[in-house]
Amino acid sequence: MLNLLKNDKMFEIKRKDGLARLGEFTTPHGTVETPAIMPVINPNRELVPVKKLEKEFGTQVLITNSYILYKDQELKDKSLDRGIHDLLGFQGSIMTDSGTFQAHVYGDIDVEAEEILEFQRNIGSDVITILDEFTEPDDSRETAEEKVQKTIERAEHALRSKEDQISLTALPIQGSIYLDLRKRCGKSMGEIKGDLYPIGGVVPLMEDYRFHELAEVIIASKKGLGPRGPVHLFGAGHPMLYSLAVLLGCDLFDSSSYAKYAKRGDMMYPEGTKNIEDIDHLGCECPVCSSYDAEEIRESYKKNDIELLAEHNLWTCFREMNKIKQSIKEGSLWEMVERRVRSHPKLLETLKVLNQEYRFLERFEPRSRRRASLYTGQESIYRPTFKRIKRWILNDYIPPKKGPTVYFEPDQSKKPYSRFFREEIDMIEDYDANLLVSTQIGPVPFEMDEIYPIAQSVFPSHPANIFSLRHYKRKKKIDELIRWEGKSTLDILSKSKGPNFDEMKIKATADYQFGEGAGSALTDGTLKYVKNNKGRIKNVKLDQNHILSVRHYDGFFTLKKTGAEILLNHFSPPDLRIEVTEESAEFNRDGKSVFSKFVTHMSSDLRHGDEAIVVTENDELVATARVLLIKDEVKVFDRGLAAGVRVGFNLNENTST
Amino acid sequence: MLNLLKNDKMFEIKRKDGLARLGEFTTPHGTVETPAIMPVINPNRELVPVKKLEKEFGTQVLITNSYILYKDQELKDKSLDRGIHDLLGFQGSIMTDSGTFQAHVYGDIDVEAEEILEFQRNIGSDVITILDEFTEPDDSRETAEEKVQKTIERAEHALRSKEDQISLTALPIQGSIYLDLRKRCGKSMGEIKGDLYPIGGVVPLMEDYRFHELAEVIIASKKGLGPRGPVHLFGAGHPMLYSLAVLLGCDLFDSSSYAKYAKRGDMMYPEGTKNIEDIDHLGCECPVCSSYDAEEIRESYKKNDIELLAEHNLWTCFREMNKIKQSIKEGSLWEMVERRVRSHPKLLETLKVLNQEYRFLERFEPRSRRRASLYTGQESIYRPTFKRIKRWILNDYIPPKKGPTVYFEPDQSKKPYSRFFREEIDMIEDYDANLLVSTQIGPVPFEMDEIYPIAQSVFPSHPANIFSLRHYKRKKKIDELIRWEGKSTLDILSKSKGPNFDEMKIKATADYQFGEGAGSALTDGTLKYVKNNKGRIKNVKLDQNHILSVRHYDGFFTLKKTGAEILLNHFSPPDLRIEVTEESAEFNRDGKSVFSKFVTHMSSDLRHGDEAIVVTENDELVATARVLLIKDEVKVFDRGLAAGVRVGFNLNENTST
């Protein structure tokens, strides 16, 4: 049973938003919902009783320091004798740290790597941590490199005897601020296959508000490690950091900060820290703050009783983590992060790091979301959702006609604009003109105005556009735009036999969704559409065959059989494809989901939620499907669903469903 | 006793931040700390028991609708018989509304203005509201004008018999979205002297997310009304609006939203609203949310029990108001608002309104704060704190030397820069060159680098500057800057007999703090300074007289007697002056504070916290003082301190203290 847990199903992802994930991490003592906070328990001084943590805070996992236990003969004997769960009085999951942090603080510690590992195993810790080498931000590259090497060797050594062990093993990722070292270390740890991956050596960065370097370090570590998890951000105890760290793929946080801050009279808030000396109004309704006022908490602090402060701090941490979970569920974590980082200017800087890391972050960004995207300020232009469409329009979009570009400037409250401008569009579509519309994102080819995020975003009336008209004109080499001034504008245009507006819409959408050329391939023949009563295209037929349906919530297509065949024909493998074993194909043809472990190959361009085509290794059409795991994830996760099949196609069936 | 309360001391301001204020509003039933939420009690359906509101939420004031009571014969009889306090079971302050909102909702109501006013008095309401005319946002100007006129007439009528009444009277400010009407109505209501001023007719703006118009309406009303208070924003029940409204000078909020939202299953959060159907993780630790999980609240809602939701909503409102109070105390409300408005793009738009209204808002903005200003995003450039220094540098600052401008680009972490560059400055100060330093705010005359907010602000490493070097160069007509490249830069400069760096610093600071020319006047003679061990100027002597001390926290001056005399001599009245009666002068010479009612005249350029000079009506020096009320406030508040005297000067004393 434990072996099964250890090797098969320790970390399962339930929901994703960017690199963030709602997951379940299973240890010998139960399942931990992630992202989660692991309160740090000092066995010498229990600030908040463990029973309270369990019952009131709903804590599923604790962390304690094995080195402190080991160095105190009495505690050592007791924990060996009774086991760590009995000692702490906690039957949930317990992780132990190895003494690395003590080595960072005191310069050196007095224990061997194997010794402390063995001790952790012997006291029955659920997750044991190898004694890694703490890389300091000001370590020279050589020093950092040596420490990384030593840490990797220890990890290899520790895992050698893993099979016999019940405990799970945490393999920390070190590397100081050298991003290639972080990446290399992450990659090695992933290959060694730990059960949990702490990102270590980051406390000094947090203490000095070097948050942009922290973000770089997390991203580099994740790049190396891949989507494996859970990832633990060692020593990150301030709630103002949580949402950013979760967005970047951290799943676990240990917090001794709640106690450390309490000791100096500090109350944590998601927007920062305030000292109890300066507080008149608590502005919190946690169980502590709704039972005591600021004066009472201050008095108790003055009497050296810091339990109230410690509990408030923990409540703040737990509440913040709950808000984050809800945001992942809603798909609004990017917005939450963009708001939270404004609690400190140095934290705000991290948005520039996210901007620089667009290429990496974009892989985890769905092409559409169920929920409208809300602009939170000028820094929202860095958000992958907006940046992706900007890049496509500026770099990849090819205007369908040869003639001039006519520019529409609609009332921004009337989205989607093309339905309000239907009459004008009907007039102009027979002319040789490309249509451009001013949106709050920027100037957008008019035929794209109904797809995510153009129609599905909320902006102020006059935001700084994500990109400018000047930018568009330069990229598309347009010298002059013709502004739409009503019917008279037609006088300066010439008639054209080019595609009408609906066809332009289908082409542009298909090119954006499936890749360049998809639009031409899918419209090469006699096109017909069914529209709903609002005039919106519902279904597309080509030469009598139903090839595409339009998703009402984001304007993208779902593929019908013939549509899938056309695309298979047009794009070479692995584009658009999830390639599965013959064994899997049989099930998938019956409409059953695609399991990760049967995927033999997959396009790296597919994103979570994308429409994909399931094929055999001989590139035979098996099914249309909705992507659940991207290629990086499929490579790592043996268990779990890679895609949900929409329609499976049996070999001897000829009709599309 | 009551008369005294009514006429003398109903609204006292304890602390200010922008137009926001921590105040005390006293009614016949006690004192209400403002800003405050007045939960709306529906006498037909008490959602959250009044006892709970009092004991657990600490509610000091309730609001209920007199029209609902009046129209129900049983309730009417009961309330007349027992009085409203007994009927509701609440011994704190109770405000009653008049039925105006019902007229807005149902088109018309069936009661006369005098009748409902009389009824409110008879049931013993602490604050009665006249039956005003609800101006709709889409009212024509003529209609709005008529309604405003009628509302003003009713106010006049209602207050005619005021002297005999115990109840206080609320005079609503109407005017739809016509800002001049709002201003005019505010002015009239202030002149009629109500006891509380609701801003009415704004619910439709809030319902339609027309927040920028809401902000404009509040500002226009406040411009007319002046700093009188308390001001009540009628119908503003969503916590996401509170901080903005308080910053603009609203003191009271009635909330029936907690109940309305609960009825449709909505949970309020400061960052917006979520329906209980969509919530997995509450992300709240209020007494409701720490006792129930989302599933339990959902179940209770499905059984039509909305008390849990209503209570959560109220907790959210109260918590937010507490956070706001703490921010006022800290002087960080602008930052809180800049963060909060990002909960919705339409709310973010209001920052542009604040930018446009800089001239008005600046009057309430202290020239310095005890606390560093934190940048929250590119929209922070609108904040008066930053905008004021920008405008002064670009428009008013006169470079002290004739020669070229040398530009320093220091490591931004080394503030204040002039102490880190002391050696360089020592070298260059004998040359004919103005010194400019690149700061995170923008290019700043180097001699100003230690004053607020230049040294006392926190920015990201690379923010969008509040203003650019190009901007500075254009404004100062500088064709070319010389970048400081070390000692070699001196080779291209010529020697000068102009002021040294310390003298430049004194001049620029004095000009910025006291007005143009103050610097020259205060340095016209033999200058000497005392410096502290960090090399910072502590005291300034001119011709042996101690004229100025430097405030350590913001780099500004406090005035000594001779300094004050020099400035009195240099500036004509009313500049820098608080002019008081002879009677007051006598006290102030003894070091006692200046009371508002003895101020006969005052400079409109003085800001809260400014260094001012107290004079008699014959312009004789009485004292130096720190401004507590600005001119607008002194005009309105008979009670309260206008300024705290630093040092009073007796007529026959000749030494400065």
Rounded distance between C-alpha atoms, residue B35 and residue A657, angstroms: 63
- Measured in angstroms, the CA of B36 and the nearest CA of chain A are apart by 13
Shortest distance, CA A370 to any CA of chain B (angstroms): 13
**Non-local CB neighbours of B492 within 8 Å, separated by 6+ positions:** B482
pLDDT tens for each residue of A362-377: 999 999 998 999 999 9
In chain B, count H helices and then E strands.
28, 29
Judged by CB atoms closer than 8 Å, whether chains meet at A315 and B285 is answered as yes
Query: Are A346 and A398 in a shared domain?
Result: no
Q: What is the per-residue pLDDT for B650? A: 87
Confidence (pLDDT) at B654: 52
Q: Do A288 and A195 fall within a single domain?
A: yes
Say whether A600 sits in a helix, a strand or coil. strand
Q: How far apart are CA A89 and CA A97, in angstroms?
A: 18
- Residue B3 CA to residue A170 CA, distance in Å, equals 73
Report the residue of B279, B342, B373, B381 to disrupt the A interface, i.e. the one with the largest count of A CBs within 10 Å: B342
Which of B 550-569 lie inside 8 A of A, CB atoms? none
For A351-360, the pLDDT digits (tens) are 999 999 999 9
> B299 and B13 in contact (C-beta within 8 Å)?
no
Alpha-carbon gap, residue A194 to A187, rounded angstroms: 11
Could you say which of B274, B280, B286 has the minimum Cβ distance to residue A285?
B286
Segment A90-142, tens digit of pLDDT: 999 999 999 888 888 888 888 888 999 999 999 999 999 999 999 999 999 99
Q: Do A281 and B326 touch (CB under 8 A)?
A: yes
Q: Kindly indicate the confidence band of residue A541, based on its pLDDT and cuts at 50, 70 and 90.
A: very high
Whether residue A342 and residue B377 make contact (CB cut-off 8 A), yes or no, is: yes
B325 and A278: CB-CB below 8 Å?
no
User: Domain for residue A555, yes or no?
Assistant: no
Contact criterion met (CB < 8 Å) for A339 and B271: yes
Residues of B in contact with A283 (CB under 8 A): 319-320, 322-326
Return the residue matching tokens 């920008």: B390
Residue among A274, A326, A348 minimizing CB distance to B283: A326
Domain boundary among B330, B356, B382: B356
> Within this chain, do residues B343 and B445 fall inside the same structural domain, yes or no?
no
Confidence at residue B652, expressed as pLDDT on a 0 to 100 scale = 67
56-85 of A, contacting B, C-beta below 8 A: 56
Question: A483 forms bridges with which residues in the sheet?
Answer: A407
d(CA A17, CA A373): 13
Q: Which pLDDT belongs to residue B497?
A: 82
Same domain? For B290 and B194 the reply is yes
A318 min Cα distance to partner chain B (Å): 8
Mean local confidence (pLDDT), A378-400: 94
Query: What pLDDT does residue B164 have?
Result: 63
Instruction: Record the tokens describing residue B135, joined without a space.
Output: 């101006």
Claim to verify: residue B349 and residue B378 sit in the same structural domain: no
pLDDT tens profile A475-520? 999 988 999 999 999 999 999 888 899 999 999 999 999 999 999 9
Residues B322 and B455 in one domain: no
Q: Domain of B221?
A: 2-18+35-356
Q: Is residue A298 part of a domain?
A: yes
- Selected residues 358-377 of chain B with any CB under 8 Å from a CB in chain A: 374-377
Residue B639 pLDDT class (50, 70, 90 cuts): confident
Assign A190 a pLDDT band (cuts: 50, 70, 90). Answer: very high
> Tens digit of pLDDT for each residue in B40-76?
998 888 889 999 999 999 999 999 999 999 999 999 9
Shared domain for A285 and A220, answered yes or no, is: yes
Beta strands in B611-653 (DSSP E): 611-615, 621-627, 641-648
pLDDT digits (tens, 9 = 90+) for A421-451: 889 999 999 999 999 999 988 999 999 999 9
More confident residue, B256 or B607: B607
**In chain A, what residues touch B344 (CB-CB under 8 Å)?**
374, 458
Q: Confirm whether A396 is a catalytic residue.
A: no
Q: Do B460 and A56 touch (CB under 8 A)?
A: no
Cβ pair B634, B642 in contact under 8 A: yes
Catalytic residue positions of B, numbered: 97
pLDDT tens digit string along B573-599? 999 999 999 999 999 999 999 999 999
The chain-wide mean pLDDT, for chain B, equals 92
Pairwise CA distance, residues A212 & A194, whole Å: 27
Contacts of B379 in chain A (CB under 8 A): 377-378
pLDDT of residue B480: 84
Interface of B with A in 172-231 (CB under 8 A): 212
Task: Please confirm whether the linkage preceding B35 is cis (ω < 30° from 0).
Answer: yes
What pLDDT band is residue B91 in, cutting at 50, 70 and 90?
very high
Decide: helix, strand or coil at residue B40: strand
Do residue A93 and residue A239 come from a single domain? Answer: yes
Residues B326 and B379 in one domain: no
Nearest CA-CA distance, residue A316 and chain B, Å: 8
pLDDT at B121 over 90: yes
In this complex, do B282 and A379 lie within 8 Å of one another by their Cβ atoms?
Answer: no
Q: Which residues of B touch A375 (CB under 8 A)?
A: 345, 348
Q: Would you say residue B532 lies in a domain? A: no
CA distance A102 to A99: 5
Residue in A with minimal Cα distance to B276: A326
CB atoms within 10 A of CB B634: 26
A124-133, A462-471, B222-231, B376-385: range with lowest mean pLDDT: A462-471
Evaluate whether residue B445 is within a structural domain: yes
Other residues' Cβ atoms within 10 Å of the Cβ of residue B303: 8
Give the pLDDT confidence score for residue A386 in this predicted structure: 95
Per-residue pLDDT reduced to its tens digit, B316-359: 999 999 999 999 999 999 999 999 999 999 999 999 999 999 99
B461 contacts B415 by C-beta, under 8 angstroms: no
Is B304 found in the same domain as B230? Answer: yes
Check if the beta carbon of residue B27 is closer than 8 Å to that of residue B126: yes
Q: Determine whether A632 is exposed, middle or buried from the number of CB atoms within 10 Å of its CB (0-12, 13-18, 19+).
A: middle
Does the beta-carbon distance from B326 to A280 stay under 8 Å? yes
Please pick, among A72, A77, A81, A97, the residue that the annotation labels catalytic.
A97
Any idea which residue has 């939701």 for tokens? B309
In B211-359, where do the E strands start and end?
Answer: 231-233, 252-255, 266-269, 272-275
Percent of chain A with pLDDT over 90: 82
Distance CA A212, CA A218 (A): 10
Mean pLDDT computed over every residue of chain A: 92
Tell if the CB–CB gap between B329 and A280 is shorter than 8 Å. yes
Q: Which of A269, A332, A348, A370 to mutate to test the interface with B (most CBs of B within 10 A)?
A: A348
In a domain, A534, yes or no: no
CA distance B592 to A57: 54
Both A198 and A293 in one domain: the answer is yes
Residue A366 lies in a domain: no
Q: Tell me, yes or no, if A119 comes closer than 8 A to chain B by beta carbon.
A: no
The predicted pLDDT at position B417 comes to 87
- The nearest CA of chain B is from the CA of A90 a distance in Å of 21
Domain count within chain B: 3
Question: pLDDT of A562-613, one tens digit each?
Answer: 999 999 999 999 999 999 999 999 999 999 999 999 999 999 999 999 999 9
Distance from B380 to chain A by nearest Cα, in Å? 11
Asked if residue B77 is part of any domain, the answer here is yes
Residues of B within 8 A of A344 (CB-CB) are 374, 458
Do A272 and A379 lie in one domain? The reply is: no
> Which residue of chain A comes nearest to B330, CA vs CA?
A278
> A-chain residues within 8 Å CB-CB of B318?
285
Final residue of a structural domain among A472, A498, A524 = A498
What CA–CA distance (Å, rounded) separates B388 from B365? Answer: 9
Residue B107: give its domain's CATH number.
3.20.20.105
**B209 → chain A, closest CA residue:** A460
Closest CA to B158 of B148, B170, B147: B170
Q: Does pLDDT of B162 surpass 70? A: no
Give the pLDDT of residue B7.
37
Closest Cα partner for B34 from B185, B215, B253? B253
Statement: residue B656 has pLDDT above 80:
no
Instruction: Place B20 in a pLDDT band, splitting at 50, 70 and 90.
Output: very high
Q: CB of B463 within 8 Å of any CB in chain A?
A: yes
- B320 part of a folded domain: yes
Task: Select from A327, A356, A385 the last residue of a domain.
Answer: A356
